[in-house]
Structure 1
Amino acid sequence: MITDDDPAYVMFFKDAAGPVDEFVTRFDGDPDWVGEAQWPLCARRDHPMAFVGQFRLPGDELHMAYLFMCGGCEETWEPEAGKNALIVQPGRVPSFITTMVPSWEPSPGGGVLVDLEPACPGDLDVFKSRMYGSPAWLRDEEYPPGGPWSFLFQLDACSEWCPLDLGEGGVGYGFISGDGQEGRFLWQCI
């Protein structure tokens, strides 16, 4: 179980030079599913959301969280509007998300790998992209409804690597439910 007392880790990004080991924290490419694929559909357009990245959860057992977002939709900042999804495996799909098993073959390749380095004093003032610890809210504190929620990650849309449109100066926040079975994602901008 993740807690806000866990030490924070700064994310550093690098392009993969080739194929990547499965089940690592990374962006782009296709998900490495722990179980059967659960690709979420956009609630507005009923088409597959774009895969953003995957996050390995701490612990001895293999658990992953997969981030998806609908392109060109409004309200992607809302954690329960069905325009983004943070799918946990093994876990359960939130009731407001519809998923499908993709008919296409996953594309091999690397994407952008994430190196996690323990945060030193002052790092979190400079590096907004991080895992664990506690969120640094761009605006007011805004946890998803229905908690308790544990903070998983924070993504800075101003980073060169970031594939997300999170508005002007946006920061995205990922959370895992208290029972570790569901995820939520929301974002804030200036």
Structure 2
Amino acid sequence: MPDLAAQPRQSLRFVESEEPITEPVTKFGGQPVWLSTPAWPMSEALGRPMRFLGQIRLPGEQVRLAYLFLTEDYPEEADEVVDTFAPDSGENAFFAQPGEPADFYQVATIAKGPTFGPDHRVELAPFDGEVDVDDFATRLGGAPQWLQGDESPGEPFRFVGQFDSSVDFPFEVDFGDAGVGYAFLDEASGQGRFLWQCS
């Protein structure tokens, strides 16, 4: 299995698809393409399905997908704001198949559920080498550029990608004020961690 930490940085371009994408490829929006039994994450606070944001085809000969979900659309009757920024809040989920979700949120065996929008295929391009001090652009591979301090979850988690909610992204996603999300994966178990920071 290729080491995620050794993967070169790639830039992402999102293109809306005219048809639902049902292949095991990197895409955002639409519905997840499950590789085994569906495991739709449930919001810890609200007890209902999180929203599907996207899936990432992991490097290697074996077909493996990592899925990203967030709790969104907070009901007016909620007693408090549901925070999605913490990696173990039970209000976001990042995990791979083959593999397993983390144990701090429940999953349901439903194949389809709420999503952030229509399918967008992803075009990947090698990073051109131009780095700006404030370069928080959406990317896969390479190393994270932290908006605030380093919050890497540590071993055994490896950086997969980061997502700039203010530019380069096909949907409105609440990562706070001009926030950036960060995804990490334990390649052995398939468990992941996701968090976001804002300015």
Q: TM-score, normalised by structure 2?
A: 0.86
**Counterpart in the other structure of 1:95:** 103
Q: 1:151 to 1:45 in 2, by over 3 A?
A: same
Q: 1:127 to 1:92 in 2, by over 3 A?
A: same
Identity of aligned residues (%): 35
Q: Counterparts in 2 of 1:91-170, with a 5 A limit?
A: 91-102=99-110, 111-122=119-130, 128-144=137-153, 147-159=155-167, 160-170=169-179
Aligned positions, number? 188
Per-residue CA deviation, residues 17-36 of structure 1 (Å, 9 max, x unaligned), is 22325111111111000001
> RMSD in angstroms over aligned alpha carbons?
2.3
Per-residue CA deviation, residues 10-55 of structure 1 (Å, 9 max, x unaligned), is 0111111223251111111110000010000000011000111111
Of 7-16 and 153-162, the range deviating more from structure 2: 153-162
**Counterpart in the other structure of 2:84:** 76
**Counterpart in the other structure of 2:185:** 176
**Counterpart in the other structure of 1:20:** 21
Of 17-26 and 111-120, the range deviating more from structure 2: 17-26
Which runs of 4 or more aligned residues in structure 1 lie more than 4 Å from their structure 2 counterparts after TM superposition?
Answer: 103-107, 123-127
C-alpha contact 1:10 1:123 (8 A) present in aligned 2: no
Q: 1:13 to 1:150 in 2, by over 3 A?
A: same
AA in 2 matched with 1:9: Q
Indicate the SS of the match to 2:33. Answer: coil
**Counterpart in the other structure of 1:9:** 10
C-alpha contact 2:22 2:33 (8 A) present in aligned 1: no
TM-superposed CA distance for 1:126, in Å, is: 5.1
Per-residue CA deviation, residues 164-189 of structure 1 (Å, 9 max, x unaligned), is 11000100001111525211110000
AA in 1 matched with 2:121: L
TM-superposed CA distance for 1:102, in Å, is: 1.6
AA in 1 matched with 2:101: V
Q: Distance in 2 between matches of 1:181 and 1:26?
A: 19
Q: TM-score, normalised by structure 1?
A: 0.90
Instruction: Structure 1 unaligned segments of length 5 or more: list them.
Output: none
Q: 1:18 to 1:178 in 2, by over 3 A?
A: closer
Instruction: Structure 2 unaligned segments of length 5 or more: list them.
Output: 75-80
C-alpha contact 2:162 2:183 (8 A) present in aligned 1: yes
C-alpha contact 1:10 1:127 (8 A) present in aligned 2: no
TM-superposed CA distance for 1:106, in Å, is: 9.8
Q: Distance in 1 between matches of 2:186 and 2:172?
A: 25
C-alpha contact 1:5 1:134 (8 A) present in aligned 2: no
